[in-house]
């Protein structure tokens, strides 16, 4: 009887330990916005949408083809990103072309989560009609895509905190985002740190547009002055935010850079 009792205690302890591990895993899945993990948003739309399309160059020319890592994509096609990890930047070499002529090339930096993805272009070269290349070294956010939170799915009370990453090019990939939305007062504000070219960026209080699930406000950079920021809210439970900070002053000797950011809720 004693042996059976001891065995029962051991089995119970193992079962409880397993439940504890499962509980911790679930907690991490909900609250850990930094650790890379598989799956997430499965694809990117390739289109020439003004202001949000991957077929647009930095000087607003429209390409008919984008070559990504050796494969051509045209308008209204899709790029499979299902195998790329969440919570981590993925780089792709790209060339934008029109009628077979190169317009621009560089590195796409893509950051995705479960319900959203943000893509920036680190432009290396732009090409004149005669094929002459001019170096650029600019970084622009080209597309923010995902499943927007519907108005009736947004919280109506309480404050939700989002944390995640920010980036401003292939050479500035380690920024951190901390942003809170007060759904009761319909306002949001936060901060980006860890980007040397910008210093700390304060994302000043902006108003929540519930109909379009977005917030727009002023972004204050220690080193690049005032700009603007815009973000959208994604997921069935306002799970994520993704956006960009832009229109900063470009210091003498520097080039135009925009900042992309993405975060998941941690409460």
Extents of the domains making up the chain: 43-146, 151-265
Rounded alpha-carbon distances, angstroms, from residue 63 to 30, 46, 109, 133, 247 = 39, 11, 19, 17, 24
pTM: 0.87
Q: Residue 218 forms beta bridges with which residues?
A: 228
% of residues, the chain, pLDDT over 90: 83
Position 51 scores a pLDDT of 86
Q: What would the pLDDT profile of 212-221 be if each residue is shown by its tens digit? A: 999 999 999 9
3-state DSSP call for residue 119?
A: strand
Q: Band of the pLDDT at 246, cuts 50, 70, 90? A: very high
Q: Which of 142, 77, 76 is nearest to 104 (CA)?
A: 142
Residue 73 pLDDT exceeds 70:
yes
Q: What would the pLDDT profile of 77-108 be if each residue is shown by its tens digit? A: 999 999 999 999 999 999 999 999 999 999 99
| Integer Cα distance of 117 and 86 in angstroms | 9
| CATH of region 43-146 | 2.60.40.1980
| Two tokens, residue 231 | 């973000």
Q: Provide the CB-side half-sphere exposure for 17 (13 A, CA).
A: 6
Q: Which CATH architecture has domain 151-265?
A: Beta Barrel (2.40)
């Amino acid at each position: 009887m004693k042996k059976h009792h001891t065995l029962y205690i051991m089995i119970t302890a193992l079962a409880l330990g397993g439940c504890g591990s499962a509980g911790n895993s679930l907690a991490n899945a909900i609250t850990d916005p930094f650790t890379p993990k598989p799956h997430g948003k499965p694809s990117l739309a390739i289109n020439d949408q003004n202001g949000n399309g991957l077929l647009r160059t930095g000087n607003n020319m429209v390409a008919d083809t984008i070559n990504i890592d050796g494969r051509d994509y045209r308008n209204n096609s899709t790029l499979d990103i299902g195998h790329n990890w969440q919570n981590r930047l993925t780089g792709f070499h790209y060339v934008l072309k029109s009628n077979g002529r190169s317009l621009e090339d560089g590195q796409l930096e893509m950051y995705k989560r479960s319900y959203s993805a943000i893509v920036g272009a680190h432009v290396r070269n732009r090409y004149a009609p005669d094929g002459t290349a001019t170096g650029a070294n600019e970084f622009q956010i080209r597309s923010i895509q995902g499943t927007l939170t519907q108005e009736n799915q947004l919280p109506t009370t309480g404050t939700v905190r989002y944390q995640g990453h920010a980036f401003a090019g292939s050479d500035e990939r380690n920024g951190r985002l901390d942003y809170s939305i007060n759904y009761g007062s319909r306002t949001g504000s936060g901060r980006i740190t860890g980007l040397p070219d910008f210093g700390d960026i304060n994302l000043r209080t902006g108003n929540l547009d519930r109909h379009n699930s977005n917030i727009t406000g002023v972004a204050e950079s220690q080193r690049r002055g005032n700009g603007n920021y815009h973000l959208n809210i994604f997921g069935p439970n306002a799970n994520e935010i993704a956006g960009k900070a832009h229109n900063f002053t470009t210091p003498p000797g520097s080039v135009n850079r925009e900042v992309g950011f993405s975060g998941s809720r941690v409460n």
